[in-house]
Chains A and B, each alone.
Chain A
Amino acid sequence: MDALLASAGPLPTKKQNYKGKQSSTYNKKSGPTSHQTIPRADGSSIDPSLHSILSSTRIPAGFHQSNLASGSGSAPIKPDSSISRIQDKKLRSKLARQDVTHKQAKSDRQDVNEWLNKAISGDKGGIEVDEELGEKTWRVKQSEISDSVGVGSKGKKFDLKFEGMGSYKVDYTRNGRYLAIASSKGHVATFDWQAGKLHSEIQLKESIRDIKFLHSQDFYAVAQKKYVFIYDQNGVELHKLKQHIDPTHMEFLPYHYLLATVGHAGYLKYHDTSTGVMLTQIPSHLGSPHSMAQNPHSAIIHLGHANGTMTLWSPNMTTPHVKLLAHRGPVNGIAVDPSETSAGRYVATSGMDGVVKIWDGRMWGKEVRSWHVRNQVTTLGYSGMGMLSVGGKSGVTVYRDLHSGNIQHTPTPYLTLPLPSLTASSVKFCPFDDLLCVGHEKGISSLLVPGSGEPNFDSNEADLYETYSRKRERDVRGLLEKIKPELITLDTDFLGHINESRGGETFEERNSRSYRQLGRLERLRVDGKADEPQNQLEDEDEEGEGEGGEGETTQKEKVKRKMKGKGGSTSRYLRKKQKKNIVDNSLLAMKAKVAAQKKAEDTRRKIAKGEIVKETGALARFG
């Protein structure tokens, strides 16, 4: 028995009194035990067997993340501060552990990615010229580029000429392998542009306003004159979406399987393409929109309207998340930056007023950068590396490094791609390649833009060399991992965080809980016996400064100021006048007036109280 106790050692010292009491009784009964305490200088002692039985083990801190080569470890990872506010001890430790593991995994992932994919030169790629000699990158012509690149890349520059078919819209699949084009006069084609293999080509003989691939190259949606139609890769019409009337723009949210369209009536409609059910339709109340774009990182739809506003939508709200006046004319181009540094934060808009603006999604108050362009802008596009292409009359201009340098100045273009006597109706950068596809009145042009594409793709996300079996696998997995539309939020980091407001309890619910249902700490707080540690109090103070605390004090002052007679304009006037030691008539008159008012008020109060009886007879008029 004692041996068992001895081998186990005493309990961890959770309760001081317990330890003192019990250990003495043990010793009294059994004499010295097999474990011994180590005395320390300050009079206390350490019991080495204190943690002889642990329910879980962990790696000593010294082994965490230490860099064996340099011998220096990075700073230890600490759990999120919000976790420390959890009161349940077991839950807190569990979540803290989880959080640390997560952060650890994240940093490990970063390291691995650096090893895998970081360019050896550390350069972003692109054209380099001798600036000192006055060379400019924007003077470099397409012919010069195609002369200097390899044979494989040279073949990527091509033009497809279709005379008299109207202006073309283009769309790439997510892996950039397939291209869909649609002319305003009804010509539709999809093809594997690398292999030069045509999949479908149809002549619809009615006006087409937009074309979009769905989750894979097998299906594409076409916004036709009256409705939206879905075709398969052979050009066979599969569905006619009758609810989408008069569509002008479309976007497909690949992870949610939602096709968002907007038509002349200004209704934003979400259609679930996996179930075939219309999810919701939201009136924008702003008329026929001029442009539409999606944020690939948050699935928020951006609409540009005729009155110069841009609105941000999700299917969960009938009002826009954000509504901002972006331009002094219709907003005709919107693009969201998907690159690594931005990750959906930066948005570019262009208006009929000839201005291009860059916005920061974290603060919509003022644009980050804006500049005028001479040709009338019609469309915008962002590349995987954050290059912005501005398409308009007689050509496309490409900008890079928009967030560095002097942001007050008009940025110097990176490349100019002239299209003489043509207007770009749609510009799309090819994902994972250095290409820009421009749709215009005479077909499409695939142009070389060095350094625009993300060089390292991820096979599990968008495989450039996808085989048939892997595509099948992806289709099934994609459907299994379909994200619910309710999870579309402006703040993408919302899910999986600790709810600060006590697990979704409303204020009423929290307040209506009976005393019995309160936790121990809450009860103590109610009783006024809470013995809260100093830092917690500080925390609360800090919080208070953020929201309630300061407001309360100002409120107190306000109440004070609102006391009768103090804040009135007359008395303030008098107070000011009295400060100067001058007697003037106006002041005297005012004083008399105030005194009379006071007297009248006084009598009125006394009458109300019944202290004096009001004269009611004929003499009453004399006071």
Chain B
Amino acid sequence: MISRSLDDHMPSSSTSPHPLQRNLAPHLHPFQKPREYARALTAVKMDRMFAKPFVDALGGHQDGVYCLGKDSRRVGVVAGGGGDGEVIVHSLTLRRPLLKIPHAHKGMVGGICWTSESHDGQRGMITAGKLDGTIKIWRSEAFAPGIRDKELFQGSEFASGSGSAGHQQHLDQAGAIGENGLDMDVDFDEEEEGGGLNLDFAKRDKLGESLEPKMVYTNKNGLNGIDHHRTDSVFATASNTVQIWDENRSAALSNLQFGSSLETVNKVKFNQSETSVLASVGNDRTMCLYDIRTGKAERRIVMQFVSNDISWCPTLPTTMLLASEDHNLYTFDIRNLNSPSQIYKGHVGGVMGCDWSPTGEEFVSGSYDRTVRLWNRESGKSRDVYHTKRMQRVFDVTYTPTADFVLSASDDGNVRIWKSNASKKLGVVSSKERQAIEHRQKLVERYSAEKGVRSIKDRRHVPQSIHNATKLKRDMIESRKVKEDRRREHSRKGREKPKAERKKAVIVEQK
């Protein structure tokens, strides 16, 4: 006979949890799959319900923002370059500008990057002018808020920080300042001169206006892009050739060009693993690979359309991503440049910027069609699309180094902060909650092939204009293909062979 003791099944004390007995045999858990499916459906609905990707817009620019410079080793700081030559260093944690440099360049800013000093507080910002052809290195204490240990700055050129031992608690290597710092920064504002966490906007503006670049290089041609070497004090710029500069020398170290091509180069990027390898995209529809040790252009491909941006995958060193004017993105394995390894379709305007997430599994792209899209490396369709009414054409995007957020710079003069996962909860998540979230994710993944779940999961509302453009584009492509089919039907057999989509993108590979 079954005989159960209450002692085994009742909590031992008033505060202890209720004891659970488990029997995992399937006959005691009927309808396992339908129930799991119901749960998956709830999960995917919750996911869409909580999808609020927009975090904040960082304003302050007088003109559109055309380039972003993230410090890949610091979470909380990003610089935006405006169309009027203004450069603003934003703090993502404080959500306000740390420093405004109103006349950094005459005319548009072409690119921004950060130097590679190992200490966060010492890193400087390099900006390149698109029209005036100058490169400027800026150094200020304001770039590293919260880092005010006197010893750290001794010997450095801006040892003006007047921090005291009492402020040590705000030392934050990551540049992220918590609530604590936000509350207290007003208190020691008075003691500071210049940099630091000054909330006094007038003071900050004054500092920005009076800030002089530590170094100025001049170039005959305007500069469209700039990127810094990962470790060395070397950076590369893109004008009509790719130039390599040393931070401590006023003239370029070398000029890199493929053959005698003098076409405009749009963007240049260093590889993050094999740090001397460099890739550029140019106006002549090319993507070119260089090695700065040999000082030679190694290889080049000519594509159907011009690429606007380029990005190296941080984890797969041979994988690169091109943002093309033909609305698509392409990943290439540089061991096989004949064809892209994957085409990513979804935008309905030229793709202006792209950036990998730190894990190399995902990336973000911003387009002229006023949307930001997020992608998985493995799939050719976008995972999510972000847009707002007020966001205009997007010119640059970056992932933050923690992969939590995505930043977009657009024509309307704002840098927007988006969550990289639209429905992710910000703030502290308890382990129980995290488990529940992970369980829900897994359920959605498992049933994502089912129609009910899939339609909720994949459905995205996009503005009317983009919706219409998508439809139009689809029709155009379809009719083009139908025409091609018909032509093939009526031509001699074997004359016109269908060409794979991936083969179409690259015209020729040159060595």
Contact = CB atoms under 8 A, between A and B. Distances in A.
Contact of A516 (B2, B38, B377, B481): B481
Chain A residues touching B, range: 35 or more
B26 interface: yes
Given A4-B271, A465-B9, A495-B37, A22 B335 contact: yes
B491 to A, nearest CB: 15
A411 interface: no
A55 B481 CA distance: 33
A5 B335 contact: yes
B446 A98 contact: yes
A434 B1 CA distance: 6
A620 to B, nearest CB: 58
B299 to A, nearest CB: 8
Interface in B49-63: none
A5 B38 contact: no
B199 interface: no
A87 B502 CA distance: 19
B3 interface: yes
> From DSSP, what is the main secondary structure of chain A's interface residues?
loop
Contact of A495 (B2, B28, B33): B33
Interface in A551-601: none
Nearest to B482: A516
A141 interface: no
B475 interface: no
A454 interface: yes
B28 A152 contact: no
B291 A495 contact: no
A482 to B, nearest CB: 6
B35 A116 contact: no
Contact of B277 (A1, A109, A459, A516): A1
B181 interface: no
Nearest to A154: B1
For B4, B25, B338, B450, the residue with the greatest tally of chain A CB atoms inside 10 Å of its CB is B25
Interface string A519-537: 0000000000000000000
Given A3-B274, A458-B28, A496 B1 contact: no
Contacts of B23: 113, 116-117, 454, 456-458
A109 B24 contact: yes
A496 B318 contact: no
> From DSSP, what is the main secondary structure of chain B's interface residues?
loop
B9 A255 contact: no
B25 A340 contact: yes
Contact of A116 (B22, B276, B377, B378): B22
Contacts of A481: 35, 38-39, 42
Contacts of A344: 30
A112 B273 contact: no
A460 B3 CA distance: 20
A453 interface: yes
Contact of B22 (A125, A458, A464): A458
A483 B274 contact: no
Contact of B291 (A1, A22, A455, A465): A1
Contacts of B2: 125, 153, 432-434, 453, 455
A405 interface: no
Contacts of B39: 480-481
Contacts of A504: 451
29 contacts: A1-B274, A1-B277, A4-B271, A4-B318, A53-B317, A113-B23, A113-B24, A117-B25, A150-B1, A153-B1, A153-B2, A255-B31, A297-B30, A340-B25, A434-B2, A450-B1, A454-B28, A456-B21, A458-B24, A459-B18, A459-B20, A459-B22, A461-B29, A465-B9, A481-B39, A487-B37, A495-B34, A496-B450, A504-B451
Interface of A: 1-5, 7-8, 10-11, 18, 22, 25, 53, 55, 90, 98, 109-110, 112-113, 116-117, 125, 149-150, 152-153, 255, 296-297, 299, 338-340, 342-344, 432-434, 448, 450, 453-462, 464-465, 467, 470, 480-484, 487, 492-493, 495-496, 504, 514-516
Given A116-B24, A487-B37, A504-B451, 19 more contacts: A1-B274, A1-B276, A5-B335, A90-B378, A150-B3, A255-B34, A255-B35, A339-B27, A455-B2, A458-B21, A458-B28, A459-B21, A460-B20, A481-B35, A483-B31, A483-B38, A496-B33, A514-B485, A515-B485
Interface of B: 1-4, 6, 9-10, 18-31, 33-39, 42, 271, 273-274, 276-277, 289-291, 294, 298, 316-318, 333-336, 338, 377-379, 446-447, 450-451, 481-482, 485, 511
